[in-house]
Amino acid sequence: MFATEHSAWHDIETTRLTLRLLAPEAMEAALSGDLAALEDGLGAEVPPDLLHDPAVLRFALAELAADADYLSWSARAIVLKDPRRMIGHVRFHSRPDPDYLHRYARKAVEFGYVVFAAYRRQGYAREALASLMQWAHEAHGVDRFVASVSPDNLPSQRLIAAFDFKRVGEHSDAVDGVEHVYLRDLRARS
């Protein structure tokens, strides 16, 4: 079992979900194809969907190799409580206030998420993101959040609009292509 995953202070709980931090050993096990070890560490069933796009796990491991303090911001399994099953993952791209976000906002943090196809359109992403942002705000004082969304990804655009994100820019990268950049500033709501 991977020790970091079952520590209560690492889990973020919602009504239906547990956002369980993936230990580096768990990510390495998954990348090597050992889903049984990952399941044991998470205490939940892990579908093969996780391995369809392993870039998130590789990114998280690279970030952890460069910055061990990134761990609490790193990839988390979105675990359905009943039945205990991983249905996606969520993460922050960095710790707060990375240089690449300065042109949009200072002291912000960007997140990304995936809900596996069989579990979409059931409110899980909204529930996970709400609790993830609440954790960052309450535990670390983060009040600015960034999301980059493809112009073609209408479900994600609707999701972030529900959280009152506002479009603040656009960028393009080799992996995701053109994305619109959105900001949610909790200070602006006061």
In the predicted model, is pLDDT for residue 1 greater than 50? no
Dump the DSSP string for 146-173: EEEE-TT-HHHHHHHHHTT-EEEEEEEE
Predicted pLDDT of residue 3: 43
Residue range 40-57: mean pLDDT, rounded? 86
Select the more confidently predicted residue: 111 or 53: 111
Domains of the chain by start residue, with CATH: 3-189 (3.40.630.30)
State the Cα–Cα distance between residues 166 and 187, nearest whole angstrom.
Answer: 13
Q: Which long-range contacts (CB under 8 A, 24 or more apart) does 2-6 make?
A: 2/26, 2/41, 4/71, 5/41, 5/42, 5/43, 6/43
pLDDT digits (tens, 9 = 90+) for 58-77: 999 999 999 989 999 999 99
Q: Model confidence over 140-171: pLDDT tens digits? A: 999 999 999 999 999 999 999 999 999 999 98
Q: What gap in Å lies between CA 103 and CA 127, rounded to an integer?
A: 29
* Distances from the Cα of 151 to the Cα of 114, 170, 180, angstroms: 17, 10, 6
- Binned at pLDDT 50, 70 and 90, residue 12 comes out as very high
Residue 175 has pLDDT above 80, yes or no: no
- Quote the CA–CA distance of 59 and 64 in Å, as a whole number: 9
Does residue 2 have a pLDDT over 70? no
User: Could you tell me what percent of the chain has a pLDDT over 70?
Assistant: 94
- pLDDT at 6 > cutoff 90: no
Q: What DSSP element (H or E) covers 79?
A: strand 76-80
- Cα–Cα distance between 60 and 55 in angstroms, integer? 9
CA of residue 36 relative to chain centroid, distance: 22
